[in-house]
Structure 1
Amino acid sequence: MPTTPVVSRRRVMAALFTGVACMNIAMAGASTAGVLIATESPGPGWSGVPSAAGVLGTAAGALGSARLVVSHGRRRSLLITYGLGSFGALLAAAGAVTGLFPVLLVGLLVLGLGNGGAQLSRYAAADLYPDERKGQALSAIVWAGTVGALAGPPLIAPAARTADLLGLPGLAGPLLVAALVTAAAAVVSAALPRSIPDAHPRTPETSGSEGFAVAFAQRAVRGPLLAMVAAQVAMVAMMTMSAPQLHQHGHGLDVVGWILTAHMIGMFALAPLSGRIADRWGGRVTIFAGIGTLAVASAAAVAAPTSHTAGIPLSLFLLGYGWNLVFVGGSSLLSTQHRKLQGTVDAVVWSTSALAGLAAGPLFALGGYVLVAVVAGVAALIPLVALTDH
């Protein structure tokens, strides 16, 4: 079996880790700023649209990045997607400054392209290791989001204050920070080797012969994919509406920031534990654990939808970790698939969850945060049918 030199492996892992961390910082601030801008104008019913724009951009970025990987390699793919993402953040900031909501949406869409490239980095990490260590490898890259959890939301308030001092709208600040850190991700990715080593070399001509429809017909692909879609839908819906919920109850950006930090810590900090579970007991067990955790998160939000000290932080933390378990478990099962299929899977996951972002706003306007949490909990349970279908 081919092995990857330890030095090369560490160099690649460090660069991938840093790029993903930067993108998580960028998306945390930009998405929150976009939601709050939409809540103020054009109104709460539009509050899910900025998040949906970023998610759709991520879907397009995952699909395009996978094609770039096959034709030009992972290094060039990341350089292109991160570069586009930085430009998108600047465009979104321009939309915030000028008050042009459509420009903000286009900017968030383009920023999402960079996030799409970052998401596929976990498969690059898995490629470096043998099968029995793939779960740990990809979870290490997912764990990079912990940096975003610790640095992203807390930067929102100071970035807004700095923008105010410069005579700009406060919510333009997080978008400008997003542009800077995404550009930093591109710079770091330039240090990647031109050809990233692969522990299991695969030729696109042989491993990619099946189309996505044929692959989806296979239970080994269908179950993990549906679980990842459902977890993403549940997570996006509740996370997106948490900021408007807190805002409506009189809490400022500082409270929004630390509660989103709790959520993002749940999403990423325990990823190594999820990877160990996946390597030891398998991806299916990991997915089942994640679905159960998502259900508990939904119940906690329903029980205490206005508590900014217990109910909402606990709910969002569990929501994040439930998503993490499903994400790592599903990715470990799909890590041996062809690279184009991996990109298509991510595109399907993110595209579907964009519907959650779009639907979350009207649901919130109709029945408040409780209705959003109930719908999210039900959505998380749906894949149990496919996963238990023998």
Structure 2
Amino acid sequence: MQRLVILGGGESGVGTAILGKKKGYEVFVSDFGKIKENYKDVLNQYEIKWEDETHTEDLILSANIVMKSPGIPEKAPIVKKLVEKGIPVISEIEFAAKYTSAKTIGITGSNGKTTTTMLTYHLLKSGGLNVGLAGNVGKSFAWQVAEENFDCYVLELSSFQLDGIIDYKPEIAIITNISPDHLDRYDYKYENYIASKFRITMNQTEDDFLIFDADDEAISEWLKQNKTKAKLVPFSLSKQFEFGAFIKQDTMNILINEEELEMKIVDISLEGNHNLKNAMAATSVAQLMKIRKETIRESLSNFQGVEHRLEKVLKIQNVQYINDSKATNVNATFFALDSMTVPTVWIVGGVDKGNDYSELMPLVREKVKAIICLGIDNKKIIDAFRDVVDMMVEVDNMRDAVITAKHLTEKGDAVLLSPACASFDLFQNYEDRGNQFKAAVKNL
């Protein structure tokens, strides 16, 4: 009997354990942190052995194959030992893909991937396809492969998940954009991170498609220097294509397989240029999957955005409060600031992942009237912006951040939570941070 060891007892770990058990593996789950009670209950119910708050080396190093949760770095001592022993260490996506004949649409990118994933799922589901949603969003992919029977899956894939693939390939891949992020996991080398994103296309064949942002420098550069077998489907705000998606005056055009779809930009529910790109990427998938044009147009006009991504919370005394807690890197915050049209009080800070704030300078000068630093260590943000804005305040909890913001605004202003950082210094995750912001705003 093959022995499957799973590092990490979260959603992807437990999902993989269930699928492994169903496929006849001897399964063991080991988590160096604490496994949540509801996951322990599931593991017990399936009679899967587990441990938490420790890694018992003998039990782990006796594996034939190991699934590592995406949050565990390659540099972790136990992972290094497994690699030294030549035991394959793979991701949940790699493990589960072998057990389904469903088509997969894999979506990666530094920003916009959740919105693009949710919109693609919405388009395909509205088009009547039997479709699952997994990866970084929704229920674990492996869990769904074990218990559901979908014809296709829309998968949001992080670079960490892609690092753990060997044979997996999506029939349709999307790279929304690439900007420096998570560099702490890539030896602070941007090219390593870019290469990681492009693993999404490494196993694709001539029958597969790669949808990509043709305006993105890092993507264009990689495609110049490297080869993929997949058919290329570019999208752009400024260029036009005979095969791909583009904007012409006030209309989005999708030209794929001799089929043309046009839609007025004003009819698309998502606002902002970055969302136009997300819409072009998702619509390209819908066209490739032969969803009816009428359905596509309808779905693009009624799609509700993603929670914690430029989410309008409330307007109080004519000040708009906006929750963009999902902006965990500089590039995401760039989009947020870029979309602001009124003087803005900006709440920023958290765990810095090697951020370079210089690209935000022009936007901060133009749009930001005050900065509230919400983090344990705000030195880098203060050094970057102290000469750019008149007012900077440091706080260490969300309630103080929101109350301070209220005092710094006048009628017609906006308050934007767009942290550009991870949340783990003061919050459980970006959702917790966003929910605390919304609660604090509602209590004003």
Q: Which has the higher contact order (CA 8 A, sep 6+)?
A: 1
TM above 0.5: no
Aligning the two structures, in what range does the TM-score lie when normalised by the shorter sequence? under 0.3
Q: TM-score, normalised by structure 1?
A: 0.24
Q: Judging by fraction of residues, say which structure has more strand.
A: 2
Determine which structure has more spread, i.e. the larger CA radius of gyration. 2
